[in-house]
Structure 1
Amino acid sequence: MAPSLYYTLPGDFTVYAGVGVSLQYYTLSAMKTDAYDSTTKAGLVLSTGFATSLFERTLLIAECTYSLSELSHKYFQTASYIIKAGYQFAIHKPEYYVAKEKEKTAMLEKQIVEYFKAGKDHVKAKDHMRALDCFNQVLSLKPDHKEALHYVDAISQAKEQYDAARAYIKNNKDYDALPLLAASSQYIADAEKTYKYMQHKHKQDIPELLKKAVDSFNNKNYDDCIATLNIVLLIDPENTVAKGYMVQSKRIKETIKKLQ
């Protein structure tokens, strides 16, 4: 008898090990006579093994057992290697398994909801790494979860945009970095901080940029006007002058397109 500890691994593998006491019965016979004697001895037994399901109900067990006992001041050691295969029979009614499957599904859905909610909370906090981890957990449980897929794609794109923005800033191309910072700041806290810093840094550039935009507008160069106004609005989204010229430039461009 050897009580064992069992541990279940991923992939439907179970390993176990135990230690206990064995009772062994010995019979001793004298050669060329009918005399014999018998005795029962206790000993130490160690066992270990693993079990796994090969198919739906087929069970495979591999086990190693070592036993040690003493008889007439001598120690007897025995090692056994056993491989067993068996068939698992249902011991419950079908309703039991249906209920268990529903319970399993409910637990799975609960986990999905919890991970998704945690992910959205991290999105609100703009903790993109933790949010990404939560949404990936959702996808590990339900690979076709549309909202989680959307967030994973959006956050991954934001990371790429922020990396590109930092590269532009490093090369003194702040204006090129502004739209990327604006986009990535929705999910990344550091991107939001950098964006606010850039807005503050370049606020003094607005008068010169507006003059450049108005000159382009008066020269009927509406594409350059719109490009410059976009920079102004990235620095100051509420700039009314830039908004006004933007509306006019787009209307004129649309009218020209219709007349062509």
Structure 2
Amino acid sequence: MKVQGCSNPGFSFTSKYKNATISIYNFVNTKCAPGQYEYQQFQDVLSRETPSKESEVRMLIPFLIKAGIINTDNVIRGGSRIRQLNVNSTFFTNEGKCFVEFLIIEQNKDKLIESQQNIITSIYHKFGLIIYKHLILSEDQIYKDIYDYLQDYNTIDKYEFFLLTDCRSNDHLDKLNDYILNYRSGKIKKDDIEIVKNQNAYQYVISFLNQIGILDKDSSTGSYRLGTLIKEIGV
């Protein structure tokens, strides 16, 4: 059984990308002249004026837009492509400004005592829920699909993830329930499933959602379930 994953940005809030987000925020608010910039021009300026490489900026900016951190009203597109950016006081959303200010504090988390670190993690996960609410409204259907899937099946593992993404990509979500029941009963075995495209999708998407607190990992099975906060509040 050949299956394929979903396209994905291969992004997570590693220290590198947290620092890059802070650098962009500081640059926009202190050094960048307000105005309309061609997207490539903005990438060039950022790579010269901040520690971030152009490749990092190219990955980060689209994700920050999807996540509701950069204001979509400041983005001018040609089709689905970003063409220009309006850089001004509204470039970052109010939620985005709060998130980046929090990241500046979170950088020093390791210097705090355990109880303070736990508070920082709790706040980070609350921001994660805000970000996720934006992502499920984006064109990347996987974020909403995972939430809906876990509402129905409670947990998800690597092979179930690819059964889900393959059904989505081939417009066969009506077959998903049979696949999952057959997989969980052993009629479809792991060795029967061959991942032929976007093999890294599970690693990137699930790890990111775990990082921001949307998913919790079951250490005994390796599968994932919805985190406590999203169970309590929902989306």
What's the TM-score bracket when you normalise by the shorter of the two chains? Answer: under 0.3
Bigger strand fraction = 1
TM-score normalised to structure 2 length: 0.22
TM-score normalised to structure 1 length: 0.20
- Higher Cα Rg: structure 1 or 2? 1
